[in-house]
Amino acid sequence: MKNEEFYIGWIGSAPDSFAAFIKKYILLLLLIVIVLGVLLSLSQKKFGTGNFEFGTLTQVKGIYFNKPVPNIKVINGKDIWGNANYITVPLIGFGKHGADGTIADIEKEKNISLNGKEVTLKGTLLYNDGKLLMQVDANDQPLVNAASATISADLLPKQKDLGVLDVKGEIVDPKCFFGVMKPGEGKPHKDCAIRCILGGIPPLLKVTDNERKQNYYLIVGPNGEKLNEAVQDFVATPVVLHAKAVKYDDWIVLYVNADNGIQHYSSIKDHYGSLYASCAADCLK
């Protein structure tokens, strides 16, 4: 550097040697910016395929049940064996809230009980992986129609006791997981899932089997009561649930005792532990 070359910011232009050097650095930064932009965008996990029909209201006709979680059972014709085709649509509320409050307000306002009655509800659909849910928001006047009589017994949810199971998975909130947020699971989404569940959205156990196929279990207390607050410390982390499982139509419900039915486990330890165990077994052979 020549002695006369001295950089002063408030002078119109930098000395030639400074300008030439900085240009090279800027070119390097340009390269870093492009490479990092491409690399980081391509390194993200794949976004889920869930869908939230934000801004679109859909009318759904079905039978409302308030247990095990608020839902409507939508019947659509019969299959080739003459059995009713149906899908159970759990209901959730606006924002990070359950649907219970909205339904309770409607029942109070109309002075009726909706449980076991055919209703037409208006709300926003969200769906993924074969599961359909509906957001009901009081601002949308969700109750379009409600029958006065309760439905016949053959339309009640078909229940099947699956026994007591130990199920490993992650507790998520179904609203975000099935469509509102991407990702709606894992550590980055943990706080949101906790808020949704504390707000009344029923907790859901997401279980991934060895073939990467996912199964979903609704979680309630031993007597069907809400377990939302009790699972706060177990959301978005690997857990194992010891629970009685009951199949309700197309959903499985886990009846969990919060005192001893939920435990953390280390998925890493679990994975590598079994890997080391099998490796050791191979070596011994």
Partner 1 sequence: MSASYAAVGWNRQKKIYDWLIFGFCILYLTTFISFTAIFNPEYTFETVLIRSASTLAVLMLHVILSIGPLSRINKKFLPLLYNRRHLGVTMFCIILVHSVFSIMQFHSLSNVNPFVSLFTSNTHFGSLADFPFQALGFFALIIFFLMAITSHDFWLHNLSPKVWKTLHMFVYLAYFLVVMHVMLGVIQYETNPAFIVIIVVGAVTLITLHLIAGTREVRKDNIVYKLNQDGFVMVCDVNDIIEDRAKVFCIDEERIAVFKTQGKLFAVNNVCKHQNGPIGEGKIVDGCITCPWHGYQYLPNNGQSPPPFKEKVCTYDVKLQDTKVWLNPKPYSEGTERPGAVIEM
Which residues here bind partner 1, judged by CB under 8 A? 1, 3, 6-14, 17-19, 21-22, 25-26, 29-30, 32-34, 36-49, 94-97, 181-183, 186-192, 194-196, 198-199, 233, 237
Between the alpha carbon of residue 174 and those of residues 53, 83, 199, the distances in Å are: 15, 28, 12
In whole angstroms, the minimum distance from the beta carbon of 87 to partner 1 comes to 22
Q: Looking at beta carbons only, is 212 or 285 nearer to partner 1?
A: 212
Q: Per DSSP, which regions of 143-266 are E strands? A: 143-150, 159-172, 204-208, 214-220, 238-248, 251-256, 262-264
Nearest Cα residue to 65 out of 150, 122, 187 = 150
Give CA–CA dist 57/29, Å, rounded.
48
In whole angstroms, the minimum distance from the beta carbon of 270 to partner 1 comes to 13
Q: Looking at beta carbons only, is 205 or 245 nearer to partner 1?
A: 205
Q: Looking at beta carbons only, is 153 or 268 nearer to partner 1?
A: 268
In whole angstroms, the minimum distance from the beta carbon of 174 to partner 1 comes to 16
In whole angstroms, the minimum distance from the beta carbon of 142 to partner 1 comes to 17
Kindly state the helix (H) or strand (E) to which residue 126 belongs, with its residue range.
strand 117-128
Structure tokens at 275: 């890997």
In whole angstroms, the minimum distance from the beta carbon of 39 to partner 1 comes to 6
Q: How many Cβ atoms from other residues are within 10 Å of residue 243's Cβ?
A: 23
Q: Looking at beta carbons only, is 160 or 271 nearer to partner 1?
A: 271
Contact 170, 238 (CB under 8 A): yes
Q: Looking at beta carbons only, is 25 or 81 nearer to partner 1?
A: 25
Q: Looking at beta carbons only, is 95 or 113 nearer to partner 1?
A: 95
Nearest Cα residue to 255 out of 213, 227, 284 = 227
In whole angstroms, the minimum distance from the beta carbon of 96 to partner 1 comes to 4
